[in-house]
């Protein structure tokens, strides 16, 4: 997807407990935000797993996501690409039969993903950020139009840590609630994170989507987000962001 975004609070001087930084980047509040996500199947119909109860399919996927922020309107700073987040991952994905005696049960997930993901901004100190996680994701069909994804994760410990307190802001997982109309032309997705601590730091994003030109692979997006972790470098920085743009493919 491709979005024009506007933030209430640019993170001019990003820091972390292990990375002091005094350089002021003099950022513009507007970015051109774009993301590319790819996924390919590495293995399917896996022995042993395919014979487990309720399992209807088993696949191993490799995936890659890159999310970038371009200061295209910041002519004074020569329009730099201010941030790139790289996220390769590998996952085992299981399709699940959620029927009991021929009746669908919404509390039984239709999908289970077990994955390992690395995320890094590829920068040098003092603005280097990275972490590794293992996650278990469950997908539920609550109704014909409403679905829920629940993804808790565990951070893999590191000896050299650029962001040792990242879980205090990003938390230990996220949930995504998605609604589609019966013709799949309009959709709303809500993404939520929370650190599950008394200080209650979190992140919320609402994504309004509408199919355009009667093309299922071309959608108009209006996004609103608030909280910590818009990017990996912004993991401990809170801001409100409005975005407008399009997505290609799905």
Residues assigned a catalytic role: 118, 120
CA atoms within 13 A on the CB side of 5: 26
Provide the 10 A C-beta neighbour count for residue 73.
Answer: 14
Provide the 10 A C-beta neighbour count for residue 55.
Answer: 15
- List alpha helices for the chain, DSSP H: 167-170
Contacts with 78 (C-beta within 8 Å, 6 or more apart), sequence order: none
Q: For the purposes of burial, counting CB atoms within 10 Å of the CB of 85, is it exposed (0-12), middle (13-18) or buried (19 or more)?
A: buried
CA separation for the pair 133, 148 (Å, rounded): 21
Structure token digits, residue 119: 């995320």
Structure token digits, residue 96: 């699940």
Cα separation of the two ends of the chain? 10
CA separation for the pair 38, 2 (Å, rounded): 15
């Amino acid at each position: 997807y491709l979005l024009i975004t506007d933030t209430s609070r640019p993170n001019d001087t990003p820091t972390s407990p292990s990375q002091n930084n005094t350089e002021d980047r003099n950022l513009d509040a507007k970015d051109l935000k774009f993301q590319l996500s790819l996924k390919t199947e590495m293995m399917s119909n896996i022995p042993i797993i395919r014979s487990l109860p309720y399992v209807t399919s088993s696949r191993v996927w490799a995936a890659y996501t890159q999310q970038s922020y371009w200061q295209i309107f910041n002519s004074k700073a020569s329009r730099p690409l201010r941030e790139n987040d790289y996220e390769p991952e590998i996952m085992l994905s299981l399709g699940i039969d959620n029927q009991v005696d021929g009746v669908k049960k919404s509390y039984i997930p239709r999908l289970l993903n077990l994955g390992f993901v690395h995320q890094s901004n590829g920068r040098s100190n003092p603005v280097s950020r990275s972490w590794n996680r293992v996650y278990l994701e469950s997908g539920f069909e609550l109704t014909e139009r409403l679905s829920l994804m629940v993804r808790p994760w565990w951070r893999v410990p590191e000896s050299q840590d650029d962001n040792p307190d990242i879980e205090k802001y990003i938390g230990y997982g996220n949930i995504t609630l998605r609604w589609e109309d019966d013709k799949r032309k309009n959709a709303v997705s809500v993404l939520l994170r929370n650190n599950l601590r008394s200080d209650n730091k979190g992140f919320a994003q609402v994504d309004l989507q509408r199919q355009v030109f009667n093309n299922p692979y071309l959608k108009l997006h209006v996004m609103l987000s608030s909280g910590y972790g818009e990017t990996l470098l912004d993991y401990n920085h809170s801001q409100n962001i409005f975005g407008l743009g399009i997505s290609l493919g799905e």
